[in-house]
Structure 1
């Protein structure tokens, strides 16, 4: 058996997916966020710690939450050892939630129960 046969391929990062693959990954991510992340780690929403009820419309949030979910899968697998969940809390959960819920993070301007679309920086094409 070769090494590639012995180990399953690493999951693709959501920003690399499109079409049906993206939709399926988003469904799975949304289930994880709604069924595990928010019930366990969701804290009160305030202007200093915002959360958007339509988080999936913020691409930065999708990217960060997907990375957090991938780390969750890896760190809570029995092969990660007994300290895997502690590592996930320390190295992944805290930093991601701090960034997402920062007053100037991707949910800035979103209020409890409402979403506000953001305009990103203007990007002009490189004409090198």
Structure 2
């Protein structure tokens, strides 16, 4: 993706920079990921197991460029990470994933007032939603 397109994103993440320190020993012992990243998880798994009739006028919507929405990235990343963890529980792992993670986050994502408001699978990505307005808290409050 060219740098020129970066300005077209709904939300440009400006969070803290990652730690460039020593490798995390716990991460080295973690089981291998089934999906290498959230994009593969969404495209190869979630899109197939979480099928819905998309009807913006009827309460569900989706953006084919979901990765242009900061909230969607965050929620889908959480879904992927939870799935990667819970897939190792051969008893109730997937039930817990659907109940505690997928059903909650997908209801928010697919809602016509959610982060994909104005987008549609047919017409693609559309108008941007603006960040919530925030004012600086009084000094010393936190």
Q: TM-score range by the shorter chain?
A: 0.7 to 0.9
TM-score, normalised to structure 2, is 0.66
Question: In the TM superposition, what whole-angstrom CA distance separates every residue of 1:80-107 from its partner, at most 9, and x where no partner exists?
Answer: 2311111111111100110111121111
Unaligned regions of 5+ residues in structure 1, if any? 11-24
Does residue 115 (structure 1) correspond to residue 136 (structure 2)? The answer is no
Q: How many residues align?
A: 107
Structure showing greater radius of gyration is 2
Question: In the TM superposition, what whole-angstrom CA distance separates every residue of 1:29-85 from its partner, at most 9, and x where no partner exists?
Answer: 1111001100221312111101001100110010000000011011111xx231111
Greater relative contact order (Cα < 8 A, sep 6+): 1
Residue of structure 2 equivalent to 1:76: 87
CA-atom RMSD, angstroms? 2.4
Does residue 67 (structure 1) correspond to residue 86 (structure 2)? The answer is no
Residue of structure 1 equivalent to 2:37: 28
Q: Which of 29, 33, 50 in structure 2 is aligned with 1:8? A: 29
**More helix as a share of residues:** 1
Matches of 1:90 and 1:121 in 2, distance apart?
29
Unaligned regions of 5+ residues in structure 2, if any? 1-24
